[in-house]
Structure 1
Amino acid sequence: MQFNSMYFSATDTTKKVISGIVMNITENIGKEIIVHNVDFTLPEVRKEPVSFSKDDVVILGVPVYAGRVPNILLKYLSTITGNGALAIPVVVYGNRNYDDALIELKHLLEMNGFKVIAAGAFIGEHSFSKTLAKNRPDEKDMAIVSDFANQIYTKMTTQENISNVAVKGNTPYRNYYMPKNKDGSPADIRKVTPKTNSDCINCKLCVDVCPMGSIDYEDVSKLNGICIKCGACIKKCPTQAKYYDNDNYLRHKHELEIDFALRREPELFI
C-alpha cells in the first residue's frame, strides 16, 4: 500500500494531527515507508487535481469552520479522485463543536470514490484565540492520535474485507454556525478583515502564509481577496502586527473563550 497525507492547515494544528496519524501507522509496519504528502493550504497547490488508486491509503484533514467543512475548500476537495482508495477523514476544531463537518467530509470522499474505514475529530487551538484550546493538540491529544493510528493499523491488517465506518452528524447538514451581536441577532463576520499596526516590519511572512493569497505584497495592510479568519497572519506574525478590531468579531471571540473553555476530547470512529 502507498500511504498519503493531505491537509489544509493554516496554523499547523491539522498538520500536526495528520502527520502524527501517518507516522504512527507507518511505524507499525516495521519498515521504512515513503509517504506522499499533499499540503493544500496554499492556493497554488489547490489548482492541481489529485488522483489515487485502490492501493492507496489517504489520511485527509481539514479544519472546522462554523461547524462545517470550509466552503472555500469544497471545489478543490471535489477534484480528489479515490478510485477505490482507503480514506481516513479527520477534522480539527477549536473546542466549540465539529457539528456536521466530519460527516460532510466523509460524504465528500465517498462521492469521490473512496472507501472510508475510520474517521476522527480532534481539537486544535482556535483560530480566533490564543487561549481557547491553547497549544492543542497537546501531549494528551497526541497520545490519542497514536492510539487511533494503532487501531487503524489493526483494522487494516486483521479484516479481510475492511468495513466502512459510520460517524456522528446530521443529514441534511446543519446550517453554518453564526455568532450573534449584542442584540441577539445573527452577526455576519465573513467580510471582517485584519488590520495592521505600526509594529509591522514588512517581512512579508503574512503574504506567504495566507491560504487565500489575499494579502498584497507591496502593501501588506491591504487585501486583494477574501479573508477566511484562519488566524495564520495573526498567529505567525513575528511582531504581533496583525489584529481584528471589529466589534462583532471580538464579541464572538470573547464568548467562545468563556462559553467553551471546558476541555473537549477527540472522538474516534473505527
Structure 2
Amino acid sequence: MDKKINTLYFSATGTTEKIVCEIAREISKDIDGKIMNINNIDFTLPKVREESVSFSEQDIVIVGVPVYAGRVPNVLLKYLSSIKGNGALAVSVAVYGNRNYDDALIELKDILELNGFKVIGAGAFIGEHSFSKILAKGRPDEKDMTIARNFAHSMYGKFVTGHEIKNLTVKGNKPYRKYYKPRNKEGVPVDIRKVTPKTNDNCTDCKICVNVCPMGSIDFKDVSKLNGICIKCGACIKKCPHGAKYYDDEDYLRHKYELEIEFASRKEPELFI
C-alpha cells in the first residue's frame, strides 16, 4: 500500500488514543506483519492545537475524538475546522462512555468532509466514562480491540482494492441534537459546565494535573486554582497518583451516579463501512 498512515486524536484519559492507534497499527502492517511508520498527531494538549495541519491524497488519517454530551466537544471545533484534508482518506472514530454517542459520529464525519477529506469508514467505540471509574470500567478491553482490528482490516481492503469511494452513511441526526443535559432530582435540566475539581490534602504538588489538563487551566503555582475552563475530561482525577482531585458538586455527583446505574449494561462498538 503506497500511502502514509496518520493518526489525529484528542484523548485526555487515553481511551480514544488506544482505539485510534490500534486501528492505525493494523492498517499499517505489511504482508509480513511488520508495522510501517505512522505519523501520530496527539492534539490533546493546547500547544499542539495552536498549529493546524494539512494532508494530501497520499495520506490515510485515523481521526478520533471523545463524545461530550452526545456531540464532538465544542472546544475542539475551531481546531478541527482548521485541518486541511486535500483529498486524503479518513476514518472517523468517536469514543463514548457507554451512554450514547448521539450525533458525535455524524458531526465528526461532516467536519472532515467539509475540510476536504474522503471519509471511507467510521466507528463508535466505548471507553471508560470520563466521570467514572465504574461505568465502562477498563474499556476499551480486548473484545473492543479485536473489533477495532477487524474494522482496520475492512478499511485496508478498501485501500488496496481501489474501489470507488462512495458516500458513507453513519447514524445520526441532521440538524444535530442539542448537547445532552443532566437533570436534577426535580427533573429540571441543570448546567454543570462551570463545575470545577477540588483538591484535597493528599496533593503532593507533583504537577501531573497541570501537565495533563487539555485546556491548560490548572495553575502551575497553585494546582488548586483554575485559570481557565474545565471540560470534565477526567484527566486530572484519573491520572493523579494520590487521589487528590475530586468533584463535590451535587448536580454533577447525582448525574454521575445516574449514569453508572442507568447505563451499566455493556454496549458494543458500532461500525460503518
TM over 0.5: yes
Pick closer, same or farther for the CA change 1:32–1:92 going to 2, 3 Å.
closer
* Corresponding position of 1:154: 157
| Whole-angstrom distance in 2 between the partners of 1:207 and 1:69 | 24
* Corresponding position of 1:192: 195
Name the amino acid aligned to 2:6: N
Kindly state the Cα deviation for residue 183 of structure 1 after the two structures are TM-superposed.
1.1
Name the SS of the counterpart of 2:5 in structure 1.
strand
* Corresponding position of 1:63: 66
| Whole-angstrom distance in 1 between the partners of 2:269 and 2:31 | 25
* Corresponding position of 1:9: 11
Name the SS of the counterpart of 1:250 in structure 2.
helix
| Whole-angstrom distance in 1 between the partners of 2:26 and 2:20 | 10
| Whole-angstrom distance in 2 between the partners of 1:264 and 1:159 | 33
* Corresponding position of 1:96: 99
Name the SS of the counterpart of 1:118 in structure 2.
strand
| Whole-angstrom distance in 2 between the partners of 1:11 and 1:20 | 16
2:89 aligned residue (81, 86, 91):
86
Contact 2:15 2:128 in 1 (8 A): yes
Name the SS of the counterpart of 1:117 in structure 2.
strand
Name the amino acid aligned to 1:85: A
| Whole-angstrom distance in 2 between the partners of 1:60 and 1:29 | 24
Name the SS of the counterpart of 2:78 in structure 1.
helix
Contact 1:125 1:136 in 2 (8 A): yes
Name the amino acid aligned to 2:118: K
Name the amino acid aligned to 2:22: G
Percent of residue pairs identical: 69
Name the SS of the counterpart of 1:57 in structure 2.
strand
* Corresponding position of 2:254: 251
2:240 aligned residue (237, 240, 262):
237
Kindly state the Cα deviation for residue 28 of structure 1 after the two structures are TM-superposed.
4.7
* Corresponding position of 1:145: 148
Contact 1:122 1:267 in 2 (8 A): yes
TM-score normalised by L of structure 1:
0.98
Name the amino acid aligned to 2:18: K
1:13-24 aligned at under 5 Å gives the runs 13-24=15-26
1:204 aligned residue (207, 211, 223):
207
1:43 aligned residue (39, 43, 46):
46
Q: Is the counterpart of residue 177 in structure 1 residue 177 in structure 2?
A: no
| Whole-angstrom distance in 2 between the partners of 1:160 and 1:107 | 22
Contact 1:120 1:269 in 2 (8 A): yes
Name the amino acid aligned to 1:266: P
* Corresponding position of 1:25: 27
2:166 aligned residue (163, 168, 174):
163
Kindly state the Cα deviation for residue 163 of structure 1 after the two structures are TM-superposed.
2.7
Name the amino acid aligned to 2:206: C
- The RMSD of aligned alpha carbons is 0.9
Kindly state the Cα deviation for residue 29 of structure 1 after the two structures are TM-superposed.
4.9
Unaligned ranges ≥5, structure 2: none
Name the SS of the counterpart of 1:78 in structure 2.
helix
Pick closer, same or farther for the CA change 1:29–1:109 going to 2, 3 Å.
farther
Contact 1:118 1:164 in 2 (8 A): no
| Whole-angstrom distance in 2 between the partners of 1:172 and 1:238 | 42
Q: Is the counterpart of residue 125 in structure 1 residue 128 in structure 2?
A: yes
CA deviation map 1:5-36 (0-9, x unaligned)? 01000000000000100011111554552111
Kindly state the Cα deviation for residue 206 of structure 1 after the two structures are TM-superposed.
0.1
